[in-house]
Structure 1
C-alpha cells in the first residue's frame, strides 16, 4: 500500500552529504529503503535550526535565512539528479507523478525563525513551492512560542500576520511544534485546514509535542489532518511499549476522536541522524513503514481506511 509520509528531514541529510562532496544522496542513501517501505510521497522539511554538532556549526556567521538558502540550493542540485522524484505543489500534480512512476514530494518549513521580522520571506517560501509551514521548531522566536517554551506563550502580533499571509499564499499552518497557546492562537486565525504533520496523542503519551483530544477535535473542525510520528519518545513513556503496535493505537485514538478521515502519516524517520534517533520498535526506519499499515489492519481498520490514512487524507488537504 502506497504511503505518503508527510514529514521527512531528508533535505538535511542531502545538504550534509552534498556539502561533503557527494552527489545523488537520495538515490544512494535513501531510495532503497523508501522503496522497501512503499513510500511513494514525501513531505520534505526545510529545517535549519542550529543544534550542537549540526551541519551549521561550521558556519557560525550564517543567519537562519542564509542557512535556508543553502539548503534550497543543495535541494535543487539534488532534484536535478533525481528524475524519479517530482517536486509538486498540489495533489493533482502528485497523482500525475505517480502515474509516471515517480515519487512525489511537497516542501514544508519546520520552524520560521529565519523569517525574523521580514514577512516578505513567506513569499519566497511560496515561490519555492512550500505548502506546509510551522512558525516554530521548539524555540520561541519573533513569530510564536514552540513546544519547548512556555506553554502559555503564544503568537506575537507579527506571528498572527504571518498566519494570515501563509493562508493567502496557500501554505497550510502546521502546529506540530507549537506551544499550547500558539496552537490555539493559530486556530483562532484558521480560515481553512490546519495540520499537525508529525504529532501523536497526549492521552496515550503525555508529552508537550503530542496533542490533547481537544486539540485533535479542533484540527478536525478545520478539515485538517494529524500525521502519526514514529519517534519513540512520543509513542509511549514506557520503553517496552514504544512499538509499531502502540503507534497504531495512536492512530486508532485519533480516529475515535476525529474520525479516520483526519488521520495521516508524518513519520519523521531520523535514524540517519545517528544512534538514538531510530523510530519505535518495528518502525526504526522507513523501510519498515508497512509494519504500521499491518498493525492498522490487525486492529480492525478496513482497506479503505488504511489507504486513506496511508496517503489520501493528507493529499485531500493539499488539493
Structure 2
C-alpha cells in the first residue's frame, strides 16, 4: 500500500465544482487511486498557478486574488470531502490509521505556497485552523516569505518567512521545501527544530532542474530526520525525453537511498495529467493507477520487500507521526 505525500487533486475538484460538478473524486479519481494501491495521500491547496490554469480570468499575481482562490479551494475541499465518504480528512497519523482500519482512504491537507497571507505572521495559524498540516512557503513564484525554485537561487527567506518557519515548528506543521529555491532551503534547514520534508522532489544529480535536490541537500534533509518524496512528473525525471520513465524514477530512489539511506525516501508523485498537455507523468507512471510500476522497477534494482514498503508508506508516516502527533493537534475544520 502507498502513501502519496503530494497530490493536486483539489485543483481538479475546485475547477469542476466551480463549473457545477459534484462527486469529482468518486467519479473520476478514486478508481485510479485504488488501482495504484494508494491508502492515503496529501491533498494540496495550490492557488498561485500561471495564466494557463483555470484561474486565468483573474489577476493571478494580485495577493487578493491568491486569498480569494484559497478560500474557494478550502470551500470546495470541504464540500467534496463531505460528499465522498470513502476519503476521511485527518490531521494526525493516529487518525490516518483509524481511517485505514475502517476501510477508508485518509487525506492530510497541505498548502502549496502561502502567497495568500502575505507577510502576516498570523497566516500560518490561519492555515492551521483550516486543517493544513504540511506547508510550503512558496510555489515557484517569489512572495513575502521566500523565493520559489523559479527565482534567484541566492535569495534566502525574508524575516517574515523565518517567523513563519518558527511558527510552523511551534504548531506542529511539517515544513516542506520542495518548491523553495536553494537559498531558502538552507535557511529552513538552519532554522529547523525537527524533521524537514521535500514532499515531491527528485535528484539533481540525475536530472538538473532547480526543483530537484542536490546531494548536499539530500544529506541535509537526512540530518534533520526528514524524508524526500519521489516525483513522477516527466520533466523532473530525466533531461532526455526517452529516459523519462518509471525505471529512471526508480534510479532516483536508488540514488537517494545511497546518499541518504533508504529510510529517508518516500513517494510524492505529483500526478497532474488532468491539468492538460504538458503535465504528463513519466512513461509507466501516467497516473495514480500506474504507481505499482515504480515498485516493480525498485524490485528489479534489488530492493527488498521491506525497503519497498519503507518507500511506499512507512518512512513518510514515521516522520509525520513525529511532527504531527506529538501535540495531538487541534480540531480540523474540514
Q: Same fold (TM over 0.5)?
A: yes
SS at match of 1:195: strand
Post-superposition Cα deviations, 1:13-52, rounded to whole Å, max 9, x if no partner, equal 1000000101000001101111111111111001001411
Q: Is structure 2 residue 74 aligned with structure 1 residue 75?
A: no
Q: Is structure 2 residue 209 aligned with structure 1 residue 207?
A: yes
Distance in 2 separating the partners of 1:77 and 1:119 = 28
Note the residue ranges of structure 1 that are not aligned, 5 or more in a row.
Answer: none
Query: Aligned match of 2:65 in 55, 63, 79?
Result: 63
Q: CA deviation at 1:244?
A: 0.2
Partner of 1:318: 320
Query: Aligned match of 1:228 in 227, 230, 249?
Result: 230
**Is 1:131–1:318's contact at 8 Å kept on the other side of the alignment?**
no
Distance in 1 separating the partners of 2:178 and 2:273 = 20
In the comparison of the two structures, how many residue pairs are matched? 318
**Is 1:202–1:211's contact at 8 Å kept on the other side of the alignment?**
yes
Partner of 2:100: 98
Q: CA deviation at 1:188?
A: 0.6
Deviates more, 1:147-156 or 1:118-127: 118-127
Q: Is structure 2 residue 300 aligned with structure 1 residue 301?
A: no
Q: How does 1:235-314 map to 2 (within 5 A)?
A: 235-314=237-316
Distance in 2 separating the partners of 1:207 and 1:54 = 22
Q: CA deviation at 1:275?
A: 1.9
Partner of 1:152: 154
Q: CA deviation at 1:128?
A: 1.9
Cα RMSD (Å) of the superposition?
Answer: 1.0
After TM superposition, the score normalised by the length of structure 1 is 0.98
Note the residue ranges of structure 2 that are not aligned, 5 or more in a row.
Answer: 322-334
Distance in 2 separating the partners of 1:268 and 1:254 = 18
Q: CA deviation at 1:303?
A: 0.7
Q: CA deviation at 1:63?
A: 2.1
Q: CA deviation at 1:56?
A: 2.1
Q: CA deviation at 1:129?
A: 1.9
Q: Is structure 2 residue 107 aligned with structure 1 residue 136?
A: no
Q: CA deviation at 1:82?
A: 0.8
Partner of 1:40: 39
Q: CA deviation at 1:181?
A: 0.5
**Is 1:5–1:266's contact at 8 Å kept on the other side of the alignment?**
yes
